Chains A and B, each alone.
Chain A
Amino acid sequence: GAGVSQSPRYKVAKRGQDVALRCDPISGHVSLFWYQQALGQGPEFLTYFQNEAQLDKSGLPSDRFFAERPEGSVSTLKIQRTQQEDSAVYLCASSSRASGNTGELFFGEGSRLTVL
């Protein structure tokens, strides 16, 4: 596709449920990022992939958060046993650059998660 595609756009989960959020980056983009954006705040870094390798997962808030990109294209962010504080917009971004400053990040529209 022409841009970064994320699904679902909206997800409501009951506390304790597991959720999976999908990201389809721009075709051929090597770098893929996940960011978390709470209401009224800027995006916060979660994790970074270069192709299928997860090079940085320092921003994942707890071991309930898990991300993968097994074939170096589509990525999934999984949140286990969701808590109310997990409610946020989860943004996926991709870049064509592989190292150093990745320059322009192209963001998807995000997956808005609400945990009741």
Chain B
Amino acid sequence: QKEVEQDPGPLSVPEGAIVSLNCTYSNSAFQYFMWYRQYSRKGPELLMYTYSSGNKEDGRFTAQVDKSSKYISLFIRDSQPSDSATYLCAPSDDYKLSFGAGTTVTVRA
């Protein structure tokens, strides 16, 4: 079993919809939780960074971490076609990121 499991997708949603992305993990030592966005044939870029449990909001993006259930979520409100990409959860306990397999999202105009 992988250390990080991510809902496989793909997801296709209409413009303006809320996108919900989820991961579970097994390593209780994880305390840093990142979401990266990866466009086709590009490197991942950091979208959200959260330390420990709780919620963090940045514009249309909200990251949630529940360490008691080892569950990570990312919500995208008012989705735009430019949000079409692969989203990777990446928890960490130090310098090493453990990426999920990614969920590919397509936002239809």
Among residues of B, the one whose C-beta sits closest to the C-beta of A100 is B94
The stretch of B12-20, B36-44, B59-67, B74-82 that contacts the partner chain: B36-44
Among residues of A, the one whose C-beta sits closest to the C-beta of B2 is A42
Q: Is the interface of B mostly helix, strand, loop or mixed?
A: loop
- Across-interface contacts of A99 in B (CB, < 8 A): 95
Which of B31, B43, B102 contacts A41, CB < 8 Å? B102
Q: Is the interface of A mostly helix, strand, loop or mixed?
A: loop
Which of A100, A105, A108 contacts B97, CB < 8 Å? A105
What's the nearest-Cβ distance from chain B to residue A113, in Å? 14
The answer on a CB contact under 8 Å between A42 and B46 is: no
Does B45 belong to the interface (CB within 8 Å)? Answer: yes
The answer on a CB contact under 8 Å between B42 and A109 is: yes
Determine the distance from Cα of A48 to Cα of B94 in the docked complex, in whole angstroms: 12
Which of A31, A40, A44 contacts B99, CB < 8 Å? A44
Interface size class of A (residues with CB under 8 A): 20 to 34
Number of A-B contacts (CB under 8 A): 56
Does A56 belong to the interface (CB within 8 Å)? Answer: yes
Interface size class of B (residues with CB under 8 A): 20 to 34
What's the nearest-Cβ distance from chain B to residue A43, in Å? 5
- The listed residue with most A CB atoms (<10 A of its CB), out of B49, B92, B95, B99, is B95
- Across-interface contacts of B105 in A (CB, < 8 A): none
Determine the distance from Cα of A35 to Cα of B102 in the docked complex, in whole angstroms: 15
The answer on a CB contact under 8 Å between A102 and B42 is: no
Given contacts A48-B95, A56-B96, A104-B49, whether A42 and B88 have CB atoms under 8 Å apart is yes
The answer on a CB contact under 8 Å between A109 and B41 is: yes
The answer on a CB contact under 8 Å between B94 and A101 is: yes
A-B contact pairs, 12 of them (CB 8 A): A4-B43, A42-B102, A43-B88, A45-B96, A45-B98, A48-B96, A91-B43, A99-B95, A100-B94, A104-B46, A105-B44, A109-B42
Contacts A43-B97, A104-B46 aside, 10 further interface pairs with beta carbons under 8 A come to: A31-B95, A42-B100, A42-B102, A44-B99, A45-B97, A91-B44, A93-B43, A101-B94, A102-B95, A107-B45
Chain B residues packing against A (C-beta within 8 Å): 4, 6, 31-32, 41-46, 49, 88, 90, 92, 94-102
